[in-house]
Amino acid sequence: MLASDVMRNLYAPWRMEYIGAPPEPGCLFCRVREAPEADDRANLVVHRGLGALVMMNKFPYNNGHLMVAPRAHEGTLAKLDDDQTLAVMRLVRRSLKVLEEVMHPEGFNVGANIGREAGAGVPDHVHIHIVPRWNGDTNFLPVLAEVKVINEHLDSTWEKLSQAFAASPAERP
């Protein structure tokens, strides 16, 4: 038997709660928007803004992967009015500043997947993904083993980011 024939295990027992769990009904962002603020940690909401909210991605591409969603339930940016669009973009800008301060990334991927065919996991409620990037954060594991290593628990990241949002200057109305 060759060393390459031996299966190696990557342990992530905290992910067990996601395996086989049925999807919750309705829109993720509307459910979270309507939930009490006391549930923000469980829902991974790091900030509630005037016209939009910021939450962590439960299945992040990298540590600190955030999503900014308008309060309005629309499937595309083109259906948002100017005030709704401005609220989202102000929180995108604020999220970038918070992530720079807390996580010190070397770059970002920022974008929206509009429509299921474009990769939207929540196709009926447009949202902007903000993914912090570091030199070397992509390696052979995602390519060969379809595994991505996230080196900090979501709870720890939530604590840091929610505190940083609370301390950062608020967006204007």
Label the pairing between strands 66-70 and 128-133: antiparallel
DSSP state of 105: -
**What pLDDT is attached to residue 116?**
87
More confident residue, 1 or 28: 28
pTM, 2 dp: 0.82
Q: How confident is the model at residue 1 (pLDDT cuts 50, 70, 90)?
A: very low
Q: How large is the average pLDDT for residues 104-123?
A: 90
Q: Other CB atoms closer than 10 Å to residue 89's CB: what's the count?
A: 15
Length in residues, the chain: 173
Q: For residue 122, what are its two tokens?
A: 């929540």
**What pLDDT is attached to residue 112?**
93
More confident residue, 163 or 61: 163
Residue 17, pLDDT > 80, answer: no
pLDDT > 90 fraction of the chain, expressed in percent and rounded: 58
Question: Which residues have a catalytic role annotated?
Answer: 127
Residue 116 phi, psi dihedral angles, 5° rounding: -60, -40
Residue 52: which of 35, 70, 37 has the closest Cα? 70
**What pLDDT is attached to residue 118?**
85
The per-residue pLDDT for range 134-164, each reduced to its tens digit, is 887 776 555 555 656 667 788 889 999 999 9
CATH superfamily membership of 41-167? HIT-like (3.30.428.10)
When mean pLDDT is compared across 40-49, 78-87, 119-128, the lowest value belongs to: 119-128
d(CA 32, CA 44): 9
More confident residue, 145 or 129: 129
pLDDT > 70 fraction of the chain, expressed in percent and rounded: 77
